[in-house]
Amino acid sequence: MKTLYQKFIVATLLILTISITIGFILANAIYMTSTKQKIDQQNVEIATEIASNLVSLHAHSSSFEHYLESIGNLGYQIYVLNKAGEEFYFGEPFKKTEVPDEAMKVLEDQEIYHGMNEFADEMLMMGHFSNDVKNTVGVPFTMNGQQYGLFLRPDNKLLFSDIHIIFACFIVAITIVSVSGVIWFTKRLIQPITKLTEATQEITRENFNYSLKVERHDEIGQLVESFNTMQKQLQHNDEARKSFISNVSHDFQSPLMNIQGYAELLRADGVSEQDRREYLEIIDYESKRLSNLTKQLMLLTSLDQKAYPMKFSDVRLDEQMKQTIRRYQWRLEEKEIEVSYQLPPIQMKADAELMSNVWDNLLTNAIKYNEHGGSIWISLTKSEAELTIIFKDTGIGLTEEDTTQIFDRFFRVDSSRKKDGTGLGLAIVKQIIELHGGEIKVDSQVGEGTTFTIIFPNIN
């Protein structure tokens, strides 16, 4: 498997190669369609002028050779051939001296030879630099009654002037610096991703304290920041999961041990009728407690997984609350708690069963933790934007620290609150309210009471 670093380098080299290839193709297209013909024509004009000078100024063979030697020294390769078969070379020697049939027409038919324009090479544009007699231009001239052919091309070595060498070095330097820069930049870019990989591997080992420090102000920096946030959330979830398992185990173990212990006492000989009834009441109580805990856990799990089948309908909130009050009337009378309410006829789209669970939990808590002879106030109001429900009691109240944890699962403030409770009721209430798009707030003072405020958006 190729690493991202290798892929970046390969991609860069591939882009560079494609760019060079496309540039070479375009340069060849321009050279073959336009430049090649212009170069051929320019060299034909030079060759014609040299031949004209030979005819008019250098009628003797000694001056003929001296003149062409001077032209060769100026940066041209010259090949002269006459009908007698005599050959003369001036300037840099040709590597290939085979004369093509088309070139012989310069002597036979007095035609100009356009070898540069017609010369074909596998490297296309690079054929311009081929040191071959075929890659020349040829013009005819007559001197001392003898027919000659003059073939000429620029000297390859002199084509590469100092400026060309400087330009070539510039291109090579640019390429080296570009590739080196891309390699360095890619390595720097991949480094935080490598650290992210290491951090991810640590998280798979449940090491949520792995320190990931990457100081960047780009998308990778945002990714690292999101990763750190995710790491903290996973750590919190892991701690919550372990705490959840521990609390569930404890809450199941306690009633089960009680049931087991009192069942063994019932088997003992000599148990009085009064003790037997007391043990049976305890077993009945603990079994109901287990049943209630199981139901709440199942409901909470369904709500967490979004698997609960929400059944929305038009629910009369005022009627639901009044039914809940009537259902617990005996407990209210037992503690001599006065209930006052203001519940005008208001309905909303909701799951009736879940909303009934909310009122049930809030009212039983208000009764359970209220003072004997205390009071409970319930109100329901509606505005254009929202529905507001208030449950207020005159109970024992909560500290400021407790109010921040009251909706946590299995949270119970102290031993006085552990009786008859699972610590799941308010967590379920909060989950149900949020599923309906609402929010719940708590305000409490120790010794004065607690107020729960529920706000739903008014979408009816």
Kindly list the averaged pLDDT for each block of 10 residues, start to end, along the chain of length 460: 68 80 80 82 90 74 78 88 87 86 86 84 66 88 85 77 65 80 77 80 80 73 80 77 70 79 84 85 83 75 69 91 90 91 92 89 90 93 92 90 80 53 79 90 90 87
Residue 451 phi/psi, 5° resolution? Answer: -125, 125
Name the domain boundary from 247, 273, 308.
Answer: 308
| End-to-end Cα separation, the chain, in angstroms | 57
Give the CA-trace dihedral at 316, 309, 236, 216, to 10 degrees: -100
Question: Are both 125 and 32 inside the same structural domain?
Answer: yes
For residue 382, what are the β-bridge partners? 387
Q: Which residues contact 183 (CB under 8 A, 6 or more apart)?
A: 9, 12
Angle at Cα 79 formed by Cα 76 and Cα 83, nearest 5°?
155
Residue 166 domain-assigned?
Answer: no
Q: Which of 183, 93, 106 is nearest to 139 (CA)?
A: 106
Domain that holds residue 374: 309-457
On whether both 139 and 201 belong to a single domain, the answer is no
Is 139 domain-assigned?
yes
Domain contains 178 = no
| 111/90 same-domain check | yes
Do residues 9 and 153 share a domain? yes
Q: Give me the DSSP letters along 332-393.
A: HHHTT-EEEEE----EEEEEHHHHHHHHHHHHHHHHHTSPTT-EEEEEEEE-SSEEEEEEEE
Locate tokens 């009251």: which residue? 406
In a domain, 181, yes or no: no
Q: Are residues 135 and 16 in the same domain?
A: yes
195: domain CATH number is: 1.10.287.130
Residue 196's pLDDT is 80
In a domain? residue 102 = yes
Is residue 10 located within the same domain as residue 93? yes
| Residue 395 contacts residue 369 (beta carbons within 8 Å) | yes
- The answer to whether residue 236 sits within a structural domain is yes
For the entire predicted model, the pTM comes to 0.49
Cα-trace Rg, the chain: 50
Answer with the one of 159, 175, 202 that is the final residue of a domain.
Answer: 159
Considering the domain architecture, whether residues 294 and 245 belong to the same structural domain is answered as yes
Q: Is residue 167 part of a domain?
A: no
326 and 451 in a single domain? The answer is: yes
232-to-203, 237, 239, 411, 427 alpha-carbon distances in Å: 11, 9, 11, 21, 22
**Nearest Cα residue to 211 out of 221, 199, 222:** 199
244 and 319 in a single domain? The answer is no
Please tell me the predicted confidence (pLDDT) of residue 450. Answer: 93
CB 4 within 8 A of CB 193: yes
E strands, 227-374, in order:
312-316, 338-342, 347-351
Residues 153 and 195 in one domain: no
Residues 341 and 194 in one domain: no
For residue 183, being part of any structural domain is answered with no
Q: CA torsion angle for 212, 214, 219, 222 (degrees, to 10)?
A: 50
Of 246, 281, 308, the one marking the end of a domain is 308
pLDDT (0 to 100) of residue 316: 93
Name which of 338, 342, 322, 333 is nearest 376 in CA terms: 338
Residues 316 and 442 in one domain: yes
Number of domains in the chain: 3
